[in-house]
Amino acid sequence: MDTGNMLQPGEILVEGERIKAVGSSVDHPQGSKVIDLGDTTLLPGLIDAHVHLFLHPGAEDLQTVEESVPWRTILAEQAAKADLMAGFTAERDMGTEGAGSADTAVRNAINQGLIPGPRLRISGNAIDVLGGHEDANHFNPTQHVLSNADYANTADELVTVMREQHKEGSDFAKIYETGPDKMLDGVLRTPYQYTEAQLAAAVEEAHRLGTNVGVHAQGEPGTLYAAQAGVASIDHATQLSDETMRLMKEKGIFALPTFTIFEYFAEHAPSAEIAAREKALFEYKIAEFKKQIAAGIPFAVGSDVGPFPHGTQARELTLMVEYGMKPLAVLQADMTNGAKLLGWAGQIGELKPGYYADIIAVPGNPLDDISVVEHVSFVMKNGEVVRR
């Protein structure tokens, strides 16, 4: 995906869990198994850098209070399998939404071969302020319904929570930086939750732990504070000022538009009033995205799958092309930038010798029609065929 060059015909020699050779013709060692996939295009496994394995379609807030963590973990296992079967061989889980570090068990079970699923980077719970984006704000406060995130109200508390999550197995930190979101006079208004200094403390602690920070941030000034602090990604990234985009480009901070979840909410709103609000936000987001493309900021691909059905999120790539990016640029955002964001650069995201044998097949050329990635017919992960 680094060049977009297509080999016709193409063969890949896999030895163990790694790719050994790629070319129009490769060696066929004695006793090797030959898999002929016919007239398909082989690609590196897809990467979704914003998923929620512990969510499913339906009332998100009620899932966290009506469903037990063991039950949600079973559903997360099924979600991981659905994503893998759809061609997503690597993912970043952006918060268990109140299930704590249960994602540690899912990741470890996948790594040990006990259950099928993508290779995962996990955050445990997201981190939020008291009364913040995920703090059960629609419930009667006297009922003391628990937050879907871990509280941290100061820089010191951010560091403390991150250390606790790291102890429980997290790979990175997910922080809510903005919310709730409102459209007023055609402009997004969303309060920030942490100052630049507080986010900088979190980024510094993440670096100490050898990892990074991804933030939920819809708009200004929260997106600016995140960019100034040097986070790894700004997820949703609906509104970015010129200065924010300049910093993102300078520091290599990835924007993840997450179009698919916005489209889903607009199409599945419970009332006409909410549908109109969601549609207005979606249209605003598309217009801002075009500005972001023109500014040359780096993108990765994340769908926010969970509130919509797992295994359907390849639509995110289709929407990114529909709203202005070239197919090759979207594939590079997904595979090359996704590998960097997840900390697996040089290991996944390309079909090269030495890389993990994460390979999918699609019925057509995605450079001509990106939507073919929504119709994966073959999946190999770690050199093992998981779908054919």
Beta strand pairing status for 11-15 and 18-23? antiparallel
DSSP secondary structure letter of residue 371:
G
User: Are residues 229 and 177 in contact, defined by beta-carbon separation less than 8 angstroms?
Assistant: no
Could you tell me which residues come within 8 angstroms of residue 209 by beta carbon, excluding any fewer than 6 positions away? Answer: 162, 163, 166
Per-chain mean pLDDT for the chain: 97
Phi, psi angle pair for 58, to nearest 5°: 130, -175
C-alpha span between 72 and 53 (Å, rounded): 9
User: What is the per-residue pLDDT for 360?
Assistant: 98
Burial of 80 (0-12, 13-18, 19+ CB in 10 A): buried
User: Are residues 124 and 170 in contact, defined by beta-carbon separation less than 8 angstroms?
Assistant: yes
**141-190: pLDDT as tens digits:** 999 899 999 999 999 999 999 999 999 999 999 999 999 999 998 999 99
User: Is 304 strand, coil or helix?
Assistant: coil
Report the side by side order of strands in the sheet with 254-256. Answer: 150-151, 127-128, 173-176, 213-217, 233-236, 254-256
Question: Any bridge partners for residue 256, and if so which?
Answer: 235
User: What is the per-residue pLDDT for 2?
Assistant: 65
Instruction: Measure Cα distances from 141 to 62, 144, 147, 187 in Å.
Output: 15, 5, 11, 31
Torsion angle, alpha carbons of 40, 46, 51, 52, to 10: 60
Question: Any bridge partners for residue 360, and if so which?
Answer: 43, 379
C-alpha span between 261 and 181 (Å, rounded): 15
Ordered DSSP codes for 322-344: HTT--HHHHHHIIIIIHHHHTT-
**75-125: pLDDT as tens digits:** 999 999 999 999 999 999 999 999 999 999 999 999 999 999 999 999 999
Q: Report the half-sphere exposure of 323 (CA within 13 A, side-chain side).
A: 23
User: Are residues 194 and 226 in contact, defined by beta-carbon separation less than 8 angstroms?
Assistant: no
Query: What's the farthest any 2 CA atoms get from each other in the chain?
Result: 71
Which single residue is written with the structure tokens 């994602």? 103
Q: Where are the domains of the chain?
A: 45-344
Tokens of 171: 């790979």
C-alpha span between 118 and 85 (Å, rounded): 9
User: What is the per-residue pLDDT for 1?
Assistant: 60
User: Is 215 strand, coil or helix?
Assistant: strand
pLDDT tens series, the chain, 388 aa = 666 788 889 999 999 999 999 999 999 999 999 999 999 999 999 999 999 999 999 988 899 999 999 999 999 999 999 999 999 999 999 999 999 999 999 999 999 999 999 999 999 999 999 999 989 888 999 998 999 999 999 999 999 999 999 999 999 999 999 999 999 989 999 999 999 999 999 999 999 999 999 999 999 999 999 999 999 999 999 999 999 999 999 999 999 999 999 999 999 999 999 999 999 999 999 999 999 999 999 999 999 999 999 999 999 999 999 999 999 999 999 999 999 999 999 999 999 999 999 999 999 999 999 999 999 999 999 999 999 9
CATH superfamily of 45-344: Metal-dependent hydrolases (3.20.20.140)
- Chain-centre distance for alpha carbon 29: 38
C-alpha span between 333 and 47 (Å, rounded): 9
C-alpha span between 53 and 97 (Å, rounded): 10
User: Are residues 348 and 355 in contact, defined by beta-carbon separation less than 8 angstroms?
Assistant: yes
User: What is the per-residue pLDDT for 106?
Assistant: 98
User: What is the per-residue pLDDT for 4?
Assistant: 74
Alpha helices in the chain (DSSP H): 60-66, 69-85, 102-111, 155-167, 196-208, 222-229, 242-251, 259-267, 272-295, 315-322, 327-332, 338-341
C-alpha span between 313 and 305 (Å, rounded): 6
Amino acid at 119: R
User: What is the per-residue pLDDT for 136?
Assistant: 85
DSSP secondary structure letter of residue 310:
T
User: Is 44 strand, coil or helix?
Assistant: strand
**35-49: pLDDT as tens digits:** 999 999 999 999 999
Tell me the whole-structure pTM to 2 decimals.
0.97
Tokens of 177: 């930086």
- Positive or negative CA dihedral for 347, 348, 352, 358? positive
C-alpha span between 292 and 386 (Å, rounded): 37
